[in-house]
Amino acid sequence: MKTYNSQPAGTSRNPFVHELKFTMTDKIKIGLMSVTVFPVRLLLVSFFMLLAWPFAFTAALGRSDLVPDPQSWWRRLIDFCLRVIMRAMWFCGGFHWIKVKGERAPPSEVPILTVAPHSSYFDAIPVTVTMCSIVTKLESRSIPVWGTLISYIRPVFVFRSDQHSRRKTVEEIKRRAQSGGKWPQIMIFPEGTCTNRSGLILFKAGAFIPGLPVQPVVLRYLNKLDTFSWTWHGPGALKILWLTLCQPHSSVEIEFLPVYYPSMEERENPALFASNVRKLMAKALEVPLTDLSFDDREIILSRGPLQIHDCSSLLHFNQLVCRLGLKTGTRDNMLEEEARRTTKLQGDRLGLEDFAQFLNLPVTDTLRQVHNLFDQAGDGKIDVRHYIIALSTVQWPHKSMDSLKLAFKMYENEDSGEITEDDLAVILEIMLGVKEVELSPLFLQLQASDRRKITYDELQCLIKQRPHFSVDCLNFKDHPRSDCTGRLQSCNGQSHNKDD
């Protein structure tokens, strides 16, 4: 696969990874706070959360999920009480001052608030300040105490077990947004997942499909030590809670930016609408745009002996296949069926028209870009096996051995089950995202340097023996050994003393 020379913007720091580094002063402070302030704060936070429960439970009595709450005097009183209780809870947790900048527009003018960056469960602070609705999974309703509080703010529940949940969620957002302010404002985190706030990842289009004005809201956590970020790779939820409650003071700033009124073109193109709002919010935050999405997280966080070394080409490929709808529609058995169809081609190379026919898709600019990624010779033809390997890699980034086994099925000799050195080099180049793989170290490990062929079982056995297979048994351009001293650290900062 061709190298994607233009790296996705902002990918110099992995947005899905958060590493905490403590000075000796930090460690002493956390140690002292852990045995003094932390237990008191935890007790008070728990008390106020429990205190809020009967108010939220009472307000939910006799309420329909299809119509807004009647604004009776007792519901307004409960709403005021809950705001006071929630503010007291955050105060006891160390958020002594919550700075609010700008002015929040009324629901009748702006039905949707878009909030970014989304980095923590402490992002619930602006929700409790405004008592806006949110979009959340249905399972959150069953969380003891907290689930009742979530239900109080009339969230849009996502039924993950329903294959049509995405469409139904968007329809419900649209229905509420077009109610003329009868429903509470919906606060949406369009990134769709938590990051470390190093940049804004791609926005999902749900908040922008109604084509109505939105008010961007930006969050800033101002502490020097970031104990708030809860990402896919980093401190867990309980550790974050402990570390944050051990800070003498935690500071957060909520800024309501001016209302964004979409143009006619943006109303007709939600992706453009989302992109322009994202640029505006990134400028206000003074952070870069990162052309990664929720769907990219597993690729960029791949682990194991066949972990991806350079994600740029695979990330670009993943964005293209997502745009074509190829990834979301691909199940494991469908991918295996495509691999069987590819095997029957016996290495025949396909032009763009034949490739489109193979995928049962029309020829589009996006499909042309996918085809061009695998046109190594520049003659307008590709080996479809390369495409299948790449698709399997982005579909199963956490199951690299399954992708490897699928690749062997497409290349192996039917009688011996072997593939050649050159074919294995191509497979590994695509799966690892690297160039110019050379396999001499691998065949030396197998003591089969004269044969230059290998079966899947032989390779699998070697990989099991070598937890850092790609570093130990391969040579390739920009190999970690060329830049790292010794065997203790790899170039991506992961310790080789630990299992991936």
pLDDT by 10s per residue, the chain, length 500 = 765 544 454 446 789 999 999 999 999 999 999 999 999 999 999 999 999 999 999 887 777 777 777 667 888 898 899 999 999 999 999 999 999 999 999 998 999 999 999 999 999 999 999 999 998 888 888 888 888 888 888 898 887 666 677 788 888 888 888 888 888 899 999 998 999 999 999 999 889 999 999 999 999 999 999 999 999 889 999 999 999 999 999 999 999 999 999 999 999 999 999 999 999 999 999 999 988 888 788 888 887 788 888 888 888 898 888 888 776 555 567 888 888 888 888 778 899 999 999 988 999 999 999 999 998 888 899 999 999 999 999 888 888 898 999 999 999 888 888 898 889 999 999 998 888 888 888 887 777 656 688 889 988 988 888 888 888 888 887 777 654 433 333 333 333 333 33
33-59: burial string, b at 16+ Cβ within 10 Å, e else: beeeebeebeebbeebeeebbebbeeb
- Amino acid at residue number 298: E
Where exactly are the structural domains of the chain? 24-293, 302-436
The Cα–Cα gap between 215 and 385 comes to 47
Residues contacting residue 63 through CB under 8 Å, at least 6 positions apart: 69
How far, in Å, are 88, 377, 413, 419, 456 from residue 382 at the CA level? 63, 8, 21, 20, 24
Distance from chain centroid for Cα 243: 24
Its sign, for the CA torsion 257, 254, 181, 189, is positive
Q: How many CB atoms lie within 10 A of CB 432?
A: 21
pTM, whole model, 2 decimals? 0.80
- Amino acid at residue number 485: T
**pLDDT (tens digit, 9 = 90+) per residue, 199-228?**
999 999 889 999 999 999 999 999 999 999
Query: Do 421 and 452 form a contact (C-beta atoms < 8 A)?
Result: yes
Query: Do 360 and 333 form a contact (C-beta atoms < 8 A)?
Result: no
Query: Do 249 and 29 form a contact (C-beta atoms < 8 A)?
Result: no
